[in-house]
Structure 1
């Protein structure tokens, strides 16, 4: 049976969704180890803050978007002239490697000054510790960017397995480092970051690329043929596409950094609590939003290259509708069980029940942003598929600049709660503006039926959400009376798991029949 483009895109999305889900799961395991050993305190605050500068350097060179700018150009060049395609790829690879190496070296030298900049609310002792962590983690960026170039090559070949395994290896190394290096605070986790970047982000995709030689079934060249070259006619076009991503400051890329920077001003433990809550929020974002965006992009790029506008709009609409039909009920359920979810995953060791209660409203606020993540991830890649990186960059920069001066006020008024609230509102504004400019430039065909879908989805999840919330509220008070002998001996994590399970059952038996009656397409994904 010949697979259609929709089937292929769906299969690719499933691979990426599975990878992201396992990666997020490992990320939660990693943070569970952190929370168990260090809770929400000074050492964990410093550890989370240590990623601000490295992540910004990666973003500055468009590391997270290297495949977006490279895939359309390299795909076309390979079709026209394979040998010249490899010369173009080599030029991008070496410029990326040299650029990130130079920036990393500069940041390493000025680590003390950068520590004061990203941890303005930290004490001098915490800033000194932050400097030490920075100098361990920073060199990891040298592996991320060149590895992203090789992963882009694998995406062109529709080889999703190695890029899918990359975050799993990376997170596995961090966990191993934290467990193996004891008695030195969180230093072991930092060494795990460096080793994970070298093996997972670089060596793994390189080995995967080299393993498939010759020409592949789709006509794409296999192997990995690098030559040292810093000049190519297409470099200018590549830089013109990448420059807006380098210079444009997107609220999507910076929200985690703002959480850490402004969280440091909200008191001890705020950075950690916000980071733990954000980690859980990123599970549906990664499984649905990022997977849909990554998987749809090669297909959208191919349709744009062929000038198939009708097919492009249909594929974009399918990606948007399918993602939202999955993410809205998932988000509604997670909103209801925010507190027991935090308790199940993090509570124990040095992470207390009181910290679970403090983190729950932060998680609920951040979860409200998940549907907006879905839309902006897919629409953003639709812009990139049409080789328009300027519009998302300008819109993202304006949204970030508008939010930046409000963060100190939000922290002053509401502390960590204000950081979470402003993050969600900023993402909503960015998504709305990005969608507006897409419709203005390319029409609204991709959004056909979207309003009705959203309305139906929200109405259908409402009864189940209310029932799940009731279960979360009443069960902790009722279960001890119903099962006095058993409940007293249950560990806290198991109690939270029971509540999540009962609430999930209540949500499912309410939502699924309604969805079957009024939105059967949601059950056919």
Structure 2
């Protein structure tokens, strides 16, 4: 058995996928750095980011991001029954996905000029052919994403994690490579890199891993007893277009109405904002989900609400101070990461302001990650989908009004407000159905954390404003030193204050922080 088809135990699997996520985020940052260096925040970069609105929407519409949730459990059932039954079910799903996504992609490529006007209504007539070209290049990648995810689901079922871990790394690497090698053709090179990455990383690599491992049996099949159940499981996720998954597309669509560079500024700001969301909120949501599902299965609802409350307290105790500190260092962060080449100081100021607004919604992202999975743990995929769709419809006039009023700033404000509305509705609905035990003590505890975070941010803010190193040094060195110094200052002061005023909330984190954390607890 080859190295890439070897089965992994749970500990190794977690390590492999964790390293994959970390490296993928790092490569994504390098990718955006290369884009900002070569093209800055210009009409060309705006068109590139806008080209993903329609393809991403099609992917969301077909629940491409939820294949693991819907397909793997059913695959496990039918492969347990027999190999023949498992491959027949898999082939049926694969056949129908191919029959849906292939003509849909072909149609989208054919009517790309019409779709381009929807994706970026603010793009002028001279730039429209360029957007159509980009859209037609990246659109076929969706076929590879969806069909490749079927292969990946089988690899996960076999507990073979190396190739799924490599997939996003190959994808990002080829985007960067295409952009650099074809930079004379503008952002078109990055588009070809997207297509190459999808074909090689997302489709061929899992396919080869399956064929060369324990084997792949794929044939044309339109009927299987489990296909109806698969569709019923996936349907709420397909039809319920939540603001969580559409936020990025709405930001791009309305960003096109906010002037040249707006889509790029918003994209760079959103990329940084999602770092704490991914590292803290998403990780906590994924980690808490199996425990919540197990408690529901045992009907231990008291412990279920207690676990949910603990998860919310822990996530917010981390996200509130982290988001406030990131607001303080927004400008030096953007300077250090993006300000180089064609990305100017003016672009830095614009992006930093949008980042500060976006960070206001980080806590809402954290709450919805936990509450959403609590609904899933109770086998309710419909409620988050319906509430998310309704919130999206309510958000559309907000995006339009604020964009007309404040341009790119208005788009960021509308995005933050939309996430706040969705989180509030989701939490209120949960409270109405299951009571307030989940949120017991949450408001009081997190209000204390907020006050302590604001106090701890004051000396860090002074460091950023005063810039004691002056302008004689490189702006990147100055930014790095300010981020480091303000982080140490903020972190130590917040830990000291919270260990005294909110010891119960911070104890789990301080006890894992080594000797210094344990000394602060004493």
Q: Note whether the superposition's TM-score is higher than 0.5.
A: yes
Contact persistence 2:469–2:478 (CA under 8 A)? no
Q: Secondary structure at the match of 1:405?
A: helix
Query: Which residue number in structure 2 is paired with residue 107 of structure 1?
Result: 108
Output one character per residue of 1:379-416: Cα deviation in whole Å (capped at 9) or x when no partner.
Answer: 22332344322111110111010010222211111111
Q: Distance in 2 between matches of 1:314 and 1:458?
A: 22
Query: Which residue number in structure 1 is paired with residue 39 of structure 2?
Result: 38
Quickly say closer, same or farther: Cα 1:512–1:280, change in 2 above 3 A: same
Quickly say closer, same or farther: Cα 1:76–1:308, change in 2 above 3 A: farther
Query: Which residue number in structure 1 is paired with residue 203 of structure 2?
Result: 202
Residues 1:514 and 2:497 aligned together: yes
Q: Quick one: which of 246, 254, 266 aligns to 2:246?
A: 254
Query: Which residue number in structure 2 is paired with residue 4 of structure 1?
Result: none
Tell me whether 138-147 or 42-51 shows the greater mean CA deviation. Answer: 138-147
Contact persistence 1:333–1:504 (CA under 8 A)? yes
Quickly say closer, same or farther: Cα 1:440–1:230, change in 2 above 3 A: farther
State how 1:85-484 maps to structure 2 within 5 Å: 85-156=86-157, 161-207=162-208, 213=214, 224-297=216-289, 300-301=292-293, 304=296, 309=301, 312-313=304-305, 316-317=308-309, 319-475=311-467, 478-480=468-470
Gaps in structure 1 of 5+ consecutive residues: 1-7, 214-222, 481-486
Superposed displacement of residue 88, structure 1: 2.5
Quickly say closer, same or farther: Cα 1:386–1:328, change in 2 above 3 A: same
Superposed displacement of residue 118, structure 1: 1.4
TM-score (norm 2): 0.88
Residues 1:496 and 2:455 aligned together: no
Q: Distance in 2 between matches of 1:197 and 1:109?
A: 21
Contact persistence 1:241–1:387 (CA under 8 A)? no
How much is the aligned-residue C-alpha RMSD, in angstroms?
2.7
Quickly say closer, same or farther: Cα 1:81–1:516, change in 2 above 3 A: farther
Contact persistence 2:332–2:480 (CA under 8 A)? yes
Q: Distance in 2 between matches of 1:408 and 1:275?
A: 18
Q: Secondary structure at the match of 1:230?
A: coil
Query: Which residue number in structure 2 is paired with residue 484 of structure 1?
Result: none
Output one character per residue of 1:300-335: Cα deviation in whole Å (capped at 9) or x when no partner.
Answer: 556555656566556545544443333333222211
Query: Which residue number in structure 1 is paired with residue 520 of structure 2?
Result: none
Query: Which residue number in structure 1 is paired with residue 21 of structure 2?
Result: 20
Q: Secondary structure at the match of 1:351?
A: coil
Q: Secondary structure at the match of 1:122?
A: coil
Q: Secondary structure at the match of 2:284?
A: helix
Residues 1:505 and 2:506 aligned together: no
Q: Distance in 1 between matches of 2:438 and 2:84?
A: 38
Q: Distance in 1 between matches of 2:308 and 2:154?
A: 23
Quickly say closer, same or farther: Cα 1:25–1:269, change in 2 above 3 A: same
Contact persistence 1:108–1:135 (CA under 8 A)? yes
Superposed displacement of residue 106, structure 1: 0.9
Q: Distance in 1 between matches of 2:340 and 2:450?
A: 35
TM-score (norm 1): 0.87
Contact persistence 1:263–1:271 (CA under 8 A)? yes
Q: Distance in 2 between matches of 1:212 and 1:421?
A: 50
Contact persistence 2:313–2:446 (CA under 8 A)? no
Q: Distance in 1 between matches of 2:452 and 2:59?
A: 41
Superposed displacement of residue 378, structure 1: 2.8
Q: Distance in 1 between matches of 2:232 and 2:219?
A: 23
Tell me whether 307-316 or 159-168 shows the greater mean CA deviation. Answer: 307-316
Number of matched residues? 500
Tell me whether 166-175 or 267-276 shows the greater mean CA deviation. Answer: 166-175
Q: Secondary structure at the match of 2:376?
A: helix
Superposed displacement of residue 239, structure 1: 1.4
Superposed displacement of residue 87, structure 1: 2.9
Query: Which residue number in structure 1 is paired with residue 58 of structure 2?
Result: 57
Superposed displacement of residue 171, structure 1: 1.3
Quickly say closer, same or farther: Cα 1:290–1:199, change in 2 above 3 A: farther
Q: Distance in 2 between matches of 1:30 and 1:236?
A: 40
Q: Distance in 2 between matches of 1:169 and 1:239?
A: 30
